[in-house]
């Protein structure tokens, strides 16, 4: 598999290390718009799959049945930072669907938001399931199980009907059969989908091109887009790359990150999808790559590029706060 150097990490006059990877830009008909490296790179889409996993919740009528608000839908597709608003919305969803905290099987971890993590420690509290970055996704899965009257025990297991719905939704948008998608286990315990970088981009292009779907699926895509664009801080969190791009682009871009160096963007106005995989999984390289890709595609104005400067080229500083190098893009789209 031929990946390309996407990012250089400098220290003084030398390039000290590099991050390799692949980028695919695809339209909703599956045509390649641009690329870097081998886009047949097969890996897991990780949490960038969450919008596709959320579609059955809206198509089925479950979201309306439980009266889920746009900000709650944003949490369901989020990989959130465990800030106060994220925790509040997670509890709110679970109250609406009539289940207690113990039903959530996403596990716990410290909030990704440093201030929120420090506040928990200062209060002598441990993180709850609602601080888990995937709590919204799990709440959405439980809502779907409740709506269909399914057993909520084991809702996260691959053989559960809810997870079969998730797999079928992902497969449809990626233009594959469910049997063509290798499954792994995500950090929160649910199945995670194996896709090529090209198919990730295609899935996001189709999600972005909501009007190409008739009926309930098109409406579900539009509602999730509206939720993401209206509540970008819920989708990720304060200072996070996905949130900052959506806020800066002001409604032009749908952005979702995944663990292990995956980053996806949908462009509704063009019906394009963009997918990035950093080969070594280090998300520090994502900002310089994705901002440069958006700039080369003409999807950011100079003013918007300036607003994202801290992500486009990250400074390296020593313990004294002095600049000693940078993390910068090192590629051009083909």
Q: What is the pLDDT of residues 48-58, one digit of tens each?
A: 999 999 999 99
Q: What's the burial of 102, exposed, middle or buried (CB within 10 Å: 0-12/13-18/19+)?
A: exposed
In a domain, 334, yes or no: no
In a domain, 240, yes or no: yes
Q: How many residues are listed for the chain in this entry?
A: 334
- Edge to edge, the sheet with strand 183-185 lists 42-44, 191-196, 183-185
In a domain, 68, yes or no: yes
Pick from 1-15, 79-93, 126-140, 253-267: least confident: 1-15
Query: How many structural domains is the chain composed of?
Result: 1
Kind and range of the H or E element at 202? helix 197-208
Residue 50 in contact with residue 76, Cβ under 8 Å? yes
CA-atom Rg of the chain in angstroms: 19
- pLDDT score recorded for residue 1: 63
In a domain, 52, yes or no: yes
Give me the percent of the chain exceeding a pLDDT of 70. 100
Instruction: Report DSSP state, residue 215.
Output: H
Give the CATH number, domain containing residue 254.
3.40.710
Pick from 1-5, 98-102, 170-174, 250-254: least confident: 1-5
What pLDDT digit, counting tens, does each position of 153-171 carry? Answer: 999 999 999 999 999 999 9
Mean pLDDT of the chain: 97
Cα(152)–Cα(103) distance, integer angstroms: 7
Mean pLDDT within 57-75: 98
Mean pLDDT within 116-133: 97
Query: pLDDT category, 61, cuts 50, 70, 90?
Result: very high
Query: pLDDT category, 214, cuts 50, 70, 90?
Result: confident
User: Does position 138 have pLDDT exceeding 80, yes or no?
Assistant: yes
What pLDDT digit, counting tens, does each position of 231-277 carry? Answer: 999 999 999 999 999 999 999 999 999 999 999 999 999 999 999 99
- Written as six digits, the tokens of 242 are 């996905």
Structural domain of residue 286, as residue ranges?
4-329
Residue 323 in contact with residue 3, Cβ under 8 Å? no
- pLDDT score recorded for residue 307: 97
Q: Which residue has the tokens 């993390």?
A: 327
Mean pLDDT within 35-62: 98
User: Does position 135 have pLDDT exceeding 80, yes or no?
Assistant: yes
- pLDDT score recorded for residue 119: 95
In a domain, 315, yes or no: yes
User: Does position 89 have pLDDT exceeding 80, yes or no?
Assistant: yes
Mean pLDDT within 94-101: 98
- pLDDT score recorded for residue 293: 98
In a domain, 100, yes or no: yes
- pLDDT score recorded for residue 2: 82
In a domain, 29, yes or no: yes
């Amino acid at each position: 598999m031929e990946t390309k150097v996407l990012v250089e990490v400098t220290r003084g006059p030398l390039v000290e290390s590099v991050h390799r990877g692949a980028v695919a830009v695809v339209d909703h008909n599956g045509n390649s718009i641009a690329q870097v490296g081998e886009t047949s790179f097969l890996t897991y889409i990780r949490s960038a799959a969450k919008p596709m996993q959320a579609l059955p919740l809206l198509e089925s009528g479950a979201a309306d049945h439980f009266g889920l608000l746009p900000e709650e839908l944003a949490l369901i597709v989020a990989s959130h930072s465990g800030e106060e608003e994220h925790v509040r919305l997670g509890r709110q969803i679970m109250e609406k669907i009539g289940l207690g905290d113990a039903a959530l099987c996403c596990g716990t971890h410290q909030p990704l938001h440093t201030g929120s993590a420090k506040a928990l420690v200062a209060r002598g509290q441990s993180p709850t399931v609602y601080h888990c970055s995937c709590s919204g996704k799990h709440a959405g899965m439980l809502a779907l199980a409740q709506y269909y009257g399914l057993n909520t025990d084991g809702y996260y297991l691959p053989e559960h009907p809810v997870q079969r719905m998730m797999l079928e939704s992902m497969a449809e948008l990626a233009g594959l059969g469910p049997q063509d998608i290798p499954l792994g286990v995500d950090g929160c315990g649910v199945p995670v989908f194996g896709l090529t970088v090209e198919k990730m981009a295609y899935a996001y292009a189709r999600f972005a091109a909501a009007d190409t779907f008739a009926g309930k699926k098109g409406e579900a895509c539009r509602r999730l887009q509206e939720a993401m664009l209206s509540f970008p801080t819920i989708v990720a969190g304060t200072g996070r790359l996905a949130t900052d791009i959506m806020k800066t682009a002001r409604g032009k871009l749908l952005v979702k990150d995944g663990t292990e160096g995956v980053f996806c963007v949908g462009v509704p106005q063009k019906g394009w999808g963009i997918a990035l995989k950093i080969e070594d999984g280090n998300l520090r390289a994502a900002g310089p790559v994705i901002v440069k890709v958006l700039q080369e595609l003409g999807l950011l104005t100079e003013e918007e590029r300036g607003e994202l400067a801290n992500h486009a080229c990250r400074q390296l500083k020593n313990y004294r706060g002095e600049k000693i190098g940078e993390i910068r893009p090192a590629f051009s789209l083909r």
